[in-house]
Every structure is written in structure tokens, then in C-alpha cells.
Amino acid sequence: MEFDSSARTGRYKRAAAEAAVDRFLLPGMRVGLGTGSTAAFAVRRLATLRGQGHLLDVLGVPTSRATQALALELGIPLTTLEEHPELDVTIDGADEVAPDLSVIKGGGGALLREKIVAQASRRVVIVADVAKLSPKLGTHWPVPVEVLSFGWRSQLRFLESLGARVTPRKGANDAPFLTDQGNLVLDCAFGPLDAPSTLAERLGARAGIVGHGLFLGIATDLMVAGPGGVEHRVR
Ligand code: 5RP
């Protein structure tokens, strides 16, 4: 029976994530554990290898409460950036990946912790299915912007003034989505971005904006899976 496209996407996500764990994780490493369905395949692969007696001394730093819960459920030992401020590698998913390995993240709302953990890591491996590849960031995906609830409508106006169509993210029962830090997320559709670094600078300079989903110059490696198998790309 032929896979439907979502089953195929799931198969690619799993292939990319498992290949990343097999290639990059070594005994004794301190590892950032990403958030989302692709990253969850990597967490599960690590648990499977541990079940076979491998990588038993690897410690994980989760990038969200959801990933923390999954890792604990699977018996993966965890640590914190307080105990280990420098990590060997982080494996995480992405929403959109440009040719220079700049990415948009935050579809799961974990963008701030994901960026903190990634920036604390010597190597950052993005795992993705081929549908995430894009010629320019912003083509297929909005830029998530995490804002304090204090003054959030002012941030919405500010983001509109930068050219975005802004959608406040909703959670369960149509209530505002809240991040693990209790902040709001404004999804900002800019369209294809010619100068993502200029936008990132503007977002970074604005009080009340606590994070954004533009990860520029952070990813070191990409494991991308599609019909031809898994490909490794380096920045
Ligand atoms: C969460 C993220 C995810 O990595 C991103 O949304 C990709 O998710 P998925 O692997 O489920 O497609 O950035 O904040």
C-alpha cells in the first residue's frame, strides 16, 4: 500500500532524526534535545540505543517541558545548562531551512529555549524532511515572535510596521498560546525574506520581544531526508 503524504513525511522525519543520532552522538556527550515531532524521533532513537546498552552516560538538556516529559518517560537522564553550560551537540527540528542552513523555528512554541540550548552547543544538527527546504526563509512559514504579555499589542503594531501580517497564536480552546515561560507568540508572515539578518537585528533591539524564530548562523549541520534517502549538509 502506498503511504499517504503525511505518513511519508513522518517516515522522512524519522529517517533524518535517527541518522543524526547514529552519526553525531558519542558516549559521554552532553546533548540538547529539541522539540517537535522530528526531534521526538531523535529522543526515541536515543532511548532505543540506551535500551541496547549504548550511550548510557549521555546526558540530555531538553528544550521544552514537552521534551522533558518525553525524555523522562523514556528514562533518558537529564541535566541543565546550570550544571553543564556548554553542550557537545543539539539535535532539533525546524520549520523552514534555507540553503545556508539558516532556519525558522518555533512552530511548537519552544523557540526561546531552543535558541538558548543551540547557542550553548558546539554543534547544532537540524533534522528535517525535504519539504522543509526553501530558497528563502519566510517563503512558506511565518516568523514566530515571543513577546511579554505586557504591552503585547504595541509589539503587534511594531511588527506590522516592519511589514508583517501578524497572527496571535492560539492554544487549546481558542485561548492564547502560552510558551513555557508564560509569554505570547505572534506569528509574523513577512513573505520571502531578502535580509533576514536585518529583521533579526530589529527584533532583537525591541524591548518586550523576548525571542524570535530566526536562527541565523546557528545550525552547523543538516540531516534532511526525502525519497533519495538521508543527506548530510554542512554550513
Ligand atoms: C518547535 C520547533 C520544531 O522543531 C519545529 O516546529 C518543527 O516541528 P516538527 O518536527 O514537528 O515538524 O521549532 O518550537
User: To which residue does cell 525535504 refer?
Assistant: 130
**What residues contact 112, with CB distance under 8 A and at least 6 apart?**
146, 179, 181, 183, 210, 211
Looking at the structure, tell me whether residues 161 and 204 fall in a common domain.
yes
Strand partners, 188: 143, 166
In a domain, 138, yes or no: no
Catalytic residue list: 114
In a domain, 61, yes or no: yes
Looking at the structure, tell me whether residues 31 and 115 fall in a common domain.
yes
Q: What angle do CA 148, 150, 151 make, to 5 degrees?
A: 100
User: To which residue does cell 511594531 refer?
Assistant: 158
Q: Would you say how long the chain is, in residues?
A: 235
Report the separation in Å between the CA atom of 109 and the middle of ligand 1, taken as the mean of its atom positions: 8
Looking at the structure, tell me whether residues 65 and 175 fall in a common domain.
no
Q: Whose CA is nearest to atom 8 of ligand 1?
A: 36
Looking at the structure, tell me whether residues 110 and 19 fall in a common domain.
yes
Instruction: Look up the ipTM and state it.
Output: 0.99
Q: Whose CA is nearest to atom 4 of ligand 1?
A: 93
R_g of the chain, CA atoms, integer Å: 17
In a domain, 234, yes or no: no
Q: Whose CA is nearest to atom 1 of ligand 1?
A: 108
Looking at the structure, tell me whether residues 148 and 121 fall in a common domain.
no
Looking at the structure, tell me whether residues 148 and 109 fall in a common domain.
no
- How many domains does the chain contain in total? 2
In a domain, 232, yes or no: no
For residue 9, give the CATH number of its domain: 3.40.50.1360
Report the separation in Å between the CA atom of 151 and the middle of ligand 1, taken as the mean of its atom positions: 27
Residues flanking ligand 1, CB < 6 Å: 13, 34-39, 92-95, 105-111, 114
Contact at 8 Å (CB) between 40 and 152?
no
Looking at the structure, tell me whether residues 92 and 199 fall in a common domain.
no
User: Which residue range(s) make up the domain with 98?
Assistant: 1-132+216-226
For residue 203, give the CATH number of its domain: 3.30.70.260
Best residue for ligand 1 mutational test, from 11, 33, 35, 183 (most atoms within 8 Å of Cβ): 35
Looking at the structure, tell me whether residues 7 and 75 fall in a common domain.
yes
Q: Report which residue type is found at 86.
A: E
Looking at the structure, tell me whether residues 91 and 200 fall in a common domain.
no
In a domain, 231, yes or no: no
Report the separation in Å between the CA atom of 56 and the middle of ligand 1, taken as the mean of its atom positions: 26
Q: Report which residue type is found at 185.
A: V
The dihedral region occupied by 76, where left means phi > 0, alpha psi between -120 and 50, and beta the remainder, is beta
Looking at the structure, tell me whether residues 76 and 59 fall in a common domain.
yes
Looking at the structure, tell me whether residues 7 and 91 fall in a common domain.
yes
Q: What is the pLDDT of residue 1?
A: 41
Q: Could you tell me the pTM of the whole model?
A: 0.96
Best residue for ligand 1 mutational test, from 37, 96, 143 (most atoms within 8 Å of Cβ): 37
In a domain, 233, yes or no: no
Per-residue pLDDT in tens (0 to 9) along the chain, 235 residues: 445 678 899 999 999 999 999 999 999 999 999 999 999 999 999 999 999 999 999 999 999 999 999 999 999 999 999 999 999 999 999 999 999 999 999 999 999 999 999 999 999 999 999 999 999 999 999 999 999 999 999 999 999 999 999 999 999 999 999 999 999 999 999 999 999 999 999 999 999 999 999 999 999 999 999 999 999 999 9
DSSP classification of residue 17: H
In a domain, 44, yes or no: yes
Atom of ligand 1 nearest to the CA of 107: 6
In a domain, 25, yes or no: yes
Contact at 8 Å (CB) between 66 and 41?
no
State the first-to-last Cα distance of the chain, in angstroms, to the nearest integer.
38
Assigned C-alpha cell, 46: 536515543
Looking at the structure, tell me whether residues 155 and 45 fall in a common domain.
no
Give Cα separations from 83 to 27, 65, 112, 132, 184 (angstroms).
Answer: 18, 18, 19, 34, 28
